[in-house]
């Protein structure tokens, strides 16, 4: 965000002056990249709980989450870079799985479980 009074670009979140990514210390670049990925995931509607949290929501075992991801029934977003590892299962795909379970008694709408 441009701040005409200072003639600088400032962060809309914290108000500090912005620094070019390439001028950040290495660790801060890694954190910036993680935050940028996280923001993009949520802007695309792919945010949600971790796989363990998704298992708790669906009331199933953690391994079922992996199976449902493999079957393309749950959307998984993963960040694995610079020592960071974050995984989200999208809230919208969880809602669809819950709806399928209510209608068919299965996580899928095709009769597969």
CA-CA distance, 55 to 8, in Å (whole number)? 46
Is 8 part of a structural domain of the chain?
no
User: What would you report as the CA-atom Rg of the chain, rounded to the nearest whole angstrom?
Assistant: 19
**Could you read off the pLDDT of 56-102 as tens digits, one per residue?**
999 999 999 999 999 999 999 999 998 889 999 999 999 999 998 89
What pLDDT score was predicted for residue 32? Answer: 87
Share of the chain above pLDDT 70, in %: 88
Q: Look at residues 54, 55, 38, 56 and name the one whose alpha carbon lies nearest to residue 89.
A: 54
What's the DSSP call for residue 112?
-
Of the CA atoms within 13 Å of residue 63, those in its CB half-sphere come to: 0
Count of domains in the chain?
1
Is 29 part of a structural domain of the chain?
yes
pTM: 0.77
Is 61 part of a structural domain of the chain?
yes
Q: What is the average pLDDT score of the chain?
A: 86
What's the DSSP call for residue 110?
S
pLDDT band at 49 (very low <50, low <70, confident <90, very high): very high
- What DSSP string describes 25-46? -HHHHHHHHHHHHHHHHHHTT-
Which structural domain, as residue segments, surrounds residue 72?
24-104
């Amino acid at each position: 965000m441009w701040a005409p009074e200072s003639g600088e670009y400032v962060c809309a979140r914290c108000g500090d002056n912005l620094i070019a990514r390439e001028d950040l210390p290495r660790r801060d670049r890694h954190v910036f990249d993680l935050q940028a990925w996280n923001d993009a995931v949520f802007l695309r509607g792919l945010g949600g709980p971790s796989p363990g949290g998704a298992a708790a929501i669906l009331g199933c075992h953690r391994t079922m989450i992996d199976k449902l991801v493999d079957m393309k029934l749950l959307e998984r977003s993963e960040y694995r870079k610079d020592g960071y590892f974050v995984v989200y299962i999208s809230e919208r795909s969880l809602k669809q799985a819950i709806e399928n379970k209510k209608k068919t008694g299965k996580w899928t709408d095709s009769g597969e479980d």
